[in-house]
Amino acid sequence: MGTKDHWYENATFYAIDVEAFADGDDDGAGDFEGMTDRLDYLESLGIDCIWLLPFYPSPNRDNGYDVTDYYGVDDRYGTLGDFVEFVREADRRGLRVIVDLVVNHTSDQHPWFRKAREDPDSKYRDYYVWREDPPENPDPHRGPVFPGEEDNIWSYDEEAEAFYYHRFYHFQPDLNTANPDVREEIRKIMGFWLELGVSGFRVDAATLMIDNKGGLESTRLDDPHGVLRDMRHFVERRGDDAILFAEADDAPDRLGDYFGNSHGRISPDADAESGVELGEGDEINVMLNFLLDAYLVLALAEREAEPIREVLDILPVPPEGGQWANFLRNYDELNIGRLPENDQQRVFDAFAPDENMRIYGRGIRRRLAPMLDGDADRVRLAYSLLFSLPGAPLLFYGDEIGMGDDLSLPGRNAVRTPMQWSAGKNGGFSSADPEQLVRPVVSGGEYGYETVNVADQRGDPDSLFQWFSRLNRLRAECPEIGHGDCEVLDADDRAVFAHRMTSDHGRVVAVHNLGEERTEATLELDAEPVRLFGDAAFERVADRIGVESDGGEDGSADEWRFELGRYGFCWVRVEESV
């Protein structure tokens, strides 16, 4: 039975930190004017949807995730008019825009919190979570999100004469999502931005939004996932095929709950005897795939395919209408905390041998290119693998040219350096004096803007940028990957990962060699392969051997041998579209 196509299932998402992308008014900070001027570049890259990190008015103590006004644009980035013009111009080029929705918490400078601390009888007091005395034995599973930077989740406010709850920084008090008034405020915020043309929201800290905040009875949600389900229903009513794209980093056995699937209500299409739900998910449309990311990086560190096979067995299969967003790096730390401890250490040893490269005891604060020692073959192998796996790929700005990091910057800012557009002043990011820049441009060495920049790579047919442009367009031509069934294929070499994606559109097979040595992989294919991507050689080595077909009857297939070079890969189509 065929499935309904959704735009996001085969989209390539591209995350942008507005303040670090392009400076249009030369004040040293990126803005919407500068981003609008760069839309032709994004169109040429072949991406489908832009995800904007927070751009709202903010003290900017946490990269904009400490919001003071959900209905505006920070003065540094322009005006609401500039934002609308950006969305309009993006739409004209066929590019969608989703925005960060940061409603797990606010800034302590937000008017709601100011009113809450001033007046205990104000309705805003119940917008947050308060206690006269913090618990003596806090839940170890509800500790600070940033260990080493915060040592408590309760902070005392002298004006309110009470402690308030926060899982992030002390200047980011948590909102009480059990309060119906807060839920109504969230709907108003979403409605506002939907009216301005966005295609959805990246829901920040979705796992914490549905938690029993502070462990209090007054904040306990009778139906925790009802928060997300209400948001989804609102977006579907008010948005034109808009989506929820969420950060939900939870235990593997709970991840599927965030997609939703009628929560025990039997679909009209369900099998009456089995009770299997066949309906569409009713919560998050797209979820950031933190688990896959951790295991992919482990596979790259060990140069073996087994971690990929393992994680594909662990991951829940999304219901219809649900999708994973697969990535290798994002704007935060590369979080490997879900790996077993011994595997975490292997990753640290391979990719973050110095303590300065690590953060929070669970993450790596480096970009992928320097993690892989600038090895162009290995970088291409990693992203080819990412784009071929079930889900929708996500790129972080600068990935497409192999940008590096600046480990002299504090915390996660190491990977949030300005985009490198040219070999000119400040890498073409801004004409302001260097000391005025929001953050320094990476300069000198292997990853400096003098060597790694857009202008040089756009003119070079063999550059990483041109390779990504081809990869993005190929991915759009392979809907099997977005909503097909994934089957891992047998390969003798532990370094080889081979898999087949099958849907009504056809079949795509991808073969990747994670190892440094040349190797071969012999696969049984039931149709003649046609090359889509990669330069691995392949040839038929045996005709029509007996195999077990999908229907359980004896079928036949040919054996094909793929010759894979160091970090080699190949995508082939083995069945024409129907």
Catalytic residues: 204, 247
Which tokens sit at 43? 């169109």
Euclidean distance between CA atoms 168 and 64, whole angstroms: 13
Euclidean distance between CA atoms 115 and 121, whole angstroms: 10
Q: Please name the residues in contact with 137: beta carbons below 8 A apart, sequence gap of 6 or more.
A: none
- Which residues make beta-bridge pairs with 267? none
Euclidean distance between CA atoms 27 and 438, whole angstroms: 9
Nearest Cα neighbor of 514 from 325, 343, 329, 308 is 308
Q: Please name the residues in contact with 569: beta carbons below 8 A apart, sequence gap of 6 or more.
A: 380, 381, 384, 385, 510, 511, 512, 513, 533, 534, 536
Nearest Cα neighbor of 388 from 530, 507, 564, 246 is 507
Phi, psi of 195 (to 5 degrees): -65, -25
Strand 323-326 versus strand 286-288 pairing type: parallel
Can you say how many angstroms the Cα of residue 576 is from the centroid of all Cα atoms in its chain? Answer: 31
Check residue 388 and give left, alpha or beta (phi > 0: left; psi -120 to 50: alpha).
alpha
Instruction: Give the total residue count for the chain.
Output: 578
Give the 3-state secondary structure of 460-471: CCCCHHHHHHHH
Give the 3-state secondary structure of 379-431: HHHHHHHHHHCCCEEEEECCHHHCCCCCCCCCHHHHHCCCCCCCCCHHHHCCC
Phi, psi of 415 (to 5 degrees): -105, 10
Euclidean distance between CA atoms 513 and 286, whole angstroms: 29
Residue 266 is classified by DSSP as: P
**149-181 b/e with 16+ CB inside 10 Å = b?**
ebeebbbebeebebbbbbbbbbbbbbbbbbbee
Q: Quote the longest CA-to-CA distance of the chain.
A: 81
